[in-house]
Every structure is written in C-alpha cells, then in structure tokens.
Structure 1
C-alpha cells in the first residue's frame, strides 16, 4: 500500500461525509461506524506498542557476543562476586542438596562507565544462558498498564527463548532500573507503581518452574532512589558495587583497548595508568581511541607516549580551541595558573607536570599535576592543602590585580565541595554533625570561616614566593607551556634570590 494512502483517506472521508449530508443522506450511522473503527484502531495501536517492544527484545536476544570476564578489566572483586552468584545458576542440583536458595536478582551499582553492562553480558556467556536486555525507559508509557504488560512480556519471552534454544537458564538485564524501580509515594497510583508492582510479582514467581531458570541482573548509578521492596533479600539478593578502577585495574583496561592498536615499544602503560587517576573504563577506552586519532593526524605508524598524554588531557578537559585572547587577558591567565602551580609545588613538591596557556575546553589555561598515589582516606591537613591549591589562582589575581575574575568559578566550586566533605566527616569546628539537620545559615557561616582562613594562608605563601612569578611569567607568556622540570628549575632558582 502506498505511503500516501492514509493522507488521502484522512482528507477524503470528511469531504465525503459533508457531501452526503448536503444531498440529504442520514450520516449518523456512518459517523457511528467511523467512531467504532477509530476506537478499535486506537486499541490495536496500544496493543501494538507492547508487541513492538517485545519484537525489539527479540532482536536483542540474539546474544551479546562472545564477551567473557577475562575481557573486562579493572573489576576483579565485582567479577569474583558475580561469578560466585552465577555458580548457583550453573550448579543448581548441587546447591539444592545443601538447602541453598538460588539467587533471584543481582544489582550492580556504581558510577557511569565502570562496566556494569559488560559484566551482565559476560554473565550470560559464563552460564551459557539466553541473554535478554532492556532499558528502564522501555517500560515507561503514558497508557496505564502498558509498562506492566511489557514486564510480563520480558519474562515470558526469556523463558520461551530459553526453551526454544534448549538452554537451562536465561539472564535478564535491565539497565537504569531506577526509572521503574523508584520509591513509591503515597496517594495517587502512578503508571510507574504498576510497572514496579508487576516486576516485584515476576521476581517472586521466578522459581515457580524449575526450568528454565531466570536470573535478573539490574544496573543503576542511583541506588538510593530505589524502592525498599525491590532491594530486600529474596528479590535482589546481591548488591555488587562496581567502582572506578585502581591503578592496576586501569592498566589492565588500557592493555585490553590497546590490543588492536599499533603501540610504540617505548610506551609505558604504568605511567599512563598513573596519569589517568580517577578515570572510568569508558574514559580509558576513549583515551586509547583519541590517542590513535592523534597518531593518524600526524601520519605516524605507531602511537607514542605523547599521543596518549594528549588524549588524557582531551578526555579530562576537552579539545584545544582556537580562542584568541588579548595580551592582558593572557597575562592574567598566566598569573592565575602560576598561582596554582606555586601552591602545588609548595605543599606537594614535585607534583606539577605542566603549566599551559593553551585554551582547552572551557579553560583558558591549566596546570597538569603528576599522578597522586592511590588514596582512599584523607586527613584534614591534606584536604586543606587541596583547597589552598584550588584557591591559588584567585589569590594570585588578588595580589597582582587587587581583585578576582570569573576564571576562578570552577576553583571555588572545587573548594566548596572539599569543605562540604570536611563538614560531613567532622573535620570542621561544627564537629560531628548530621548535615541535613544543620541550617543553611550555619553551613554558609562555616564555609566562609574555612575558606577565608585558607585564602589568607594562600596569599601569605604566594607573597613569600613573588620571585617565582617574576622569573616565570615572561617565559610562560613567550613559550605558552612550561614543563614540570622547567617550572621546578625556575622555582628553585627564584627561591635562592633575596626577597
């Protein structure tokens, strides 16, 4: 049927009805028939939505590919926990002897890009199961009951597919489960509540039939938003935290993504793993991809260390821009960045890797720091030093220009976040508190006390090292980049000069 048939009918039917009425034909029966056809068509469309979703899942059930746990780097502990849980699915008869109840659901939580979806795909391969994937948004619909119907279809299709392929089990993966699994509120019943209720019902009835067995794996980065009925034992029995990888994990991930890329022999993966502190698996994959792009731009045949360092800067701060700055603006940016660098070198000697004036992303300049050691506990003095490094740019502008600029906004945001961490940890004069029970006025007063005291200390330190500004400023303006070694050499020479 041609595409334009519907448009022709929509235009023709009203004209026909008007014509029949004009010549004296009773059109009321005709209108009733048209209304009935319209209602039936609407109901068919509503049913078609759920059928269409089911068809989409059937396309997804062809499998996630031969992804194994060995191909996922940086998540050794989550992999061990997940593999132990999956063993219950494989050795079903054996665990029955010991009276162990099979796990019904596994919840993967953690920041975005850490590999939660990859772990679910590897789970289906590990258990030789049918893999059915869906996103929480697929179950959200304005029509009442459609979301619940889609949940029923999801479990029904998983069982049917497992039976058809002679598999003993099926793994259902729901990404972003917080969309449908959010906390239920009292009052009016919502479509989301019906969808969640249906999911709870399906999970309770997972083991009504022994075969095929169903394991539900869900992922979210907002666990605190999930309903307590969903999190209780007997539904999601295991909650596995998938955190950002440590140095060893980052190296493993980088090596996985470097397998299909031409790396130069001199490339040091340990150094790259150090420089990419705090990166997720997705960001590390992007680093290797961007490094290959830089290599191709320069018509090189191998990826060199500098290509990967450039890629880390791009992933962290964005691509270099062609933004032209005035001479005075450039001078102000140089003073600002030198303030950060001097404070970093004073409180943590050897920490500065590069000082640059080249615009990148939203920044007109930046200081790149050498990778810090893996650290999960922070003392009060460490956090105060971090704040002083962040305030170094604004303090240096105050010393040389008598005021600050908008370039310090990100620095202040970072400093405020650290102060908030200190208050939550009982490291301020407020003592040990529940931050939700403290008034906004008290929190703002404590913020000001901490930041003003540290800003004063920062200005004092920078004024003591004014010779470093004098020695470094013109060189930085001329070359636009100072390496860490160059900066430290100037820092040592300036420190020997009389004040």
Structure 2
C-alpha cells in the first residue's frame, strides 16, 4: 500500500509541476531543491551501507590470510593470553564442563605498530573463523544514525558470511576503537554517542550459545579514553597489552622478516636487535626492507651489516638530505656531536654505535647510541647521566666557541622531559610531590637548578678531552662517519690533559 502511495505522490507532483510550468510559473527553483534533496537522500542511504559494502574493499568478511601465531614475533605473553581466551571458542565442550562463560570481547592495547591487527588475523585462523574488520573512523559521520546503522550492518555481515562459509564463528575486529568508544561526557547528544550505544547493544546481544558465534576484538593505543561501559566484564572481558618487543622479541621479528632476504654470513641479528632498542614490529620490518633497498641500490648480492645500520638510521631519523653547509657550520655540528659521544662513553662506556656528520631528516649530524641491555627502571643517577649526555652538545659548543647555537633546542627539550620525569617520580630534592601541586614557577626553579648544576659538571668532564675533540674532528670532517669501535680506540690512545 505504501508503495502505491509513493507512486501516486510522485505522479501527482510531476503533474503539478507540469501544470505550473504550462501556466507560466517558474518551477526551476523547485526542481533545484528537489534535485539537492534527492542527492542528499541517496548519499545517506548509500553511505549507510558502507560498512558492508566496504568490507569487500578492505578485506572484511574474508577468511584471514594464512597468518599464524608462529609468524608473529616479540609478543609471547600477549599471544599466550590471547590463545587462552580463544580456546573458549575452540574447546566448547571443555569450558561447558567447568561452567565457564565464553568471552564476548577482547581488547588489544599498546603502541602503534606492535602487531595488534596481526594478532586479530591470527586469532581468526586459530579459531577457523570468518574475519571481518573495520576502522573506528568508518562509523563516524555528520548524518545522525549512519554510524549506528553501520555497526548493525557489520555484525549482520559477519553472521551472514560465517553462515555462508559454513563456519561456526566469526571474529569482528574494530581498529582504533577509541574513535567511537570515547568517554561520554553527558553533554550534547552526539552522533558517535549513538554509534557507541549501538555497539554496546550489539555486544549485549551476543549470545555465546548461538551459532555462528561472534567474538569481537578491538585495538587502541589510548585505552584511558574509552568509556567505562565498554570496558566492563560482559563486553570487553579481557584486556591484553601488546607492548614494544624486548631484545629477544626484536631478534625474533627480524628473523621472520629476513627469511626471504639474502643476508651476508657475517650479519648477526642479535647485534641488530641491540641497535634497534625501542623499535616496534612495524619499524623492524621497515629496517629489513630498507636494508634490502640499500643493497639493491649499491648492486650488492647480499645484505650486509652496513646496510642494516643505515636502515636503522633512516627509520629513526629519515633519509639523508642534500643540504649544503659551510665548513664553519660543519665544524660546529661535529664539535656538538662529539660532545654527545664523549660524554656518553664516559657516562655509559660502550654505548656509542656511530657518530655521523651527514645530514639526515632534520638533523645536521647525530650520535646513535647502542644500549647494552633493555632497561625499564631508572635511578636518579642514571637519569642525571642522561641529562648530561643531552646537554653535552651545547657544553662542547660553549667550550670551543664561547656560545651555543639553535642546534641544541631538541637536546634541551629532552633534558626538560627527563627533569619532569624525575620530579613526578620523587627523585629530586622536592621529594614526593603531586604534579598538580607544581606551579610554573616551581617547575622553572627546579629545572633551572638541576640543569645549571649538570651543565657545569658536563663542561668540567669535557675540558680534559680537548685533544680527543681535535683528533676526532679531523676524521669526521674527512670521512663524515666514525664507528663506535674506532671512536673508543681514539679515546684509549689519546692521553687526557689536565
């Protein structure tokens, strides 16, 4: 009946417009308004089904690629927690015997590039499930109700595709869930609040006994921003941290990405893992890829450690640039970097990997440090040593030129951040204080006191190594690179002046 009424209204409208045009009435404005309204209506309807239609474009609804947990390195703890949770789907008889309620949702948290999406794909393969993926940004629109409709379509698509493929379960993965799952402030009703409400409703509607089962997985690097209703048990039951890999994990990841690459026999991945402290899995993959590019560019048959070191520098700071600098500027940059290197070797023996004068990214020169072992707890003495290393570039410039340059700006930012960490950790003369108790004047006073004291100590440390500065300066200006081993050899050969 409704369909006939629509036809009658459309036909009557067309007849009315024709009659008005016949009697001389200007119907063009009316036609323009009707055309714009029709386009808007079409856009809302077509975009309302984007979550389903976009699934074919972005890999939604496909069985996950041949990716297993064995092919994901550096996340042993996260993998074991996730596998335990997935066993609730794989072993339904066993969990029924213990009266365990299967998990509805698993939240993966951690920095970007640590493998959260890869873990979700491996989870789909482990459970022999359909894998349906979406990004949080796909559900946010200016049109009210569109995001909520896409949430409904996403879960509906997962059930339909699992049934069509003859699967007993489906994994729905939402990346960057903080986009739609942020805390509700109780203020003006917003579009993404409706989207979050719909997601909560869908999760409550997941019945663990129905077939196909739905397991929702999500990823975020800002867990603290998520709404508490989303994090409570019965929705995201398990929260799994996917952190940056340690040295053993980095070596495992490098080995995975080196399988299809011709490495030189002298390459030691353990050494590369040491030099890439703080790298994520994505960055390590980029290191291996960039090293292969360097080898191909030089028409080498194998990837050597030299290519891997250059790749680490590129991932950290960017590609080499073609900046032309005057000799005076090059000398100042070299003195600055040698100040960092000498202080680092005195404070942390064996920590310098490379001293370079070649411009890379925004840096005119750099010192790459090689930590002896991964460290996660720091004492006041250690952090003061880090501040001295950061200030030593400016200290070296003052010793040789009597003034500083703008090249120390980033070093000072780093030193200020370390001071802030020390204050918030109760490692300064202020004792244990709350951050909210610190006024701008208080921050300025403690920072000035600590940095001035450590700057004087750094100058005194460097004053006895003027001859080492001059000898290393000649090598840097000529060769532009000084390896850590050669630099330490210069330190051993050069007598310290009084």
Query: 1:256: which partner in 2?
Result: 256
Query: 2:68: which partner in 1?
Result: 68
Query: 2:47: which partner in 1?
Result: 49
* Partners of 2:308 and 2:354 in 1: CA distance: 15
Query: 1:375: which partner in 2?
Result: 375
Query: 2:87: which partner in 1?
Result: 87
Secondary structure, aligned partner of 1:106? strand
* Partners of 2:26 and 2:357 in 1: CA distance: 78
Deviates more, 1:121-130 or 1:484-493: 484-493
CA contact (8 A) 1:75 1:242 kept: yes
Query: 1:14: which partner in 2?
Result: none
CA drift at 1:474: 2.6
CA contact (8 A) 2:51 2:151 kept: no
CA drift at 1:24: 4.2
Question: Map of 1:401-440 to 2, 5 A cutoff?
Answer: 401-440=401-440
CA contact (8 A) 2:61 2:157 kept: no
Secondary structure, aligned partner of 2:494? helix
CA drift at 1:78: 0.3
* Partners of 1:354 and 1:26 in 2: CA distance: 82
Secondary structure, aligned partner of 2:113? coil
* Partners of 2:436 and 2:118 in 1: CA distance: 36
* Partners of 1:247 and 1:297 in 2: CA distance: 29
CA contact (8 A) 2:158 2:172 kept: yes
CA contact (8 A) 1:334 1:476 kept: yes
Deviates more, 1:159-168 or 1:434-443: 434-443
Secondary structure, aligned partner of 1:206? coil
CA contact (8 A) 2:49 2:149 kept: no
**Is 2:282 the counterpart of 1:282?**
yes
* Partners of 1:65 and 1:287 in 2: CA distance: 23
Secondary structure, aligned partner of 1:245? coil
**Is 2:311 the counterpart of 1:304?**
no
Query: 1:108: which partner in 2?
Result: 108
* Partners of 1:26 and 1:490 in 2: CA distance: 95
CA drift at 1:44: 3.2
- Aligned positions, number: 480
**Is 2:136 the counterpart of 1:136?**
yes
Change in CA separation of 1:327 and 1:99 when aligned onto 2, cut-off 3 Å: same
CA contact (8 A) 2:102 2:208 kept: no
Deviates more, 1:443-452 or 1:225-234: 443-452
Secondary structure, aligned partner of 2:174? strand
Query: 2:182: which partner in 1?
Result: 182
CA contact (8 A) 1:272 1:308 kept: yes
Secondary structure, aligned partner of 2:299? coil
CA contact (8 A) 1:113 1:281 kept: yes
CA contact (8 A) 1:277 1:372 kept: no
CA drift at 1:314: 1.1
Query: 2:24: which partner in 1?
Result: 25
Question: Map of 1:232-251 to 2, 5 A cutoff?
Answer: 232-251=232-251
Query: 1:265: which partner in 2?
Result: 265
* Partners of 2:233 and 2:393 in 1: CA distance: 51
Aligned-pair RMSD on alpha carbons? 2.0
TM-score by length of 1: 0.92
CA contact (8 A) 2:51 2:154 kept: no
CA contact (8 A) 2:63 2:129 kept: no
CA contact (8 A) 1:398 1:404 kept: yes
Secondary structure, aligned partner of 1:495? coil
Stretches of structure 2 that go unaligned for 5 or more consecutive residues are 1-16
Query: 2:7: which partner in 1?
Result: none
Question: Map of 1:396-475 to 2, 5 A cutoff?
Answer: 396-475=396-475
CA contact (8 A) 1:20 1:27 kept: no
* Partners of 1:23 and 1:49 in 2: CA distance: 38
CA contact (8 A) 1:276 1:371 kept: no
Deviates more, 1:167-176 or 1:315-324: 315-324
CA contact (8 A) 2:139 2:146 kept: yes
Secondary structure, aligned partner of 1:99? coil
CA drift at 1:129: 0.5
Secondary structure, aligned partner of 1:207? coil
CA drift at 1:209: 5.7
CA drift at 1:41: 4.7
**Is 2:319 the counterpart of 1:319?**
yes
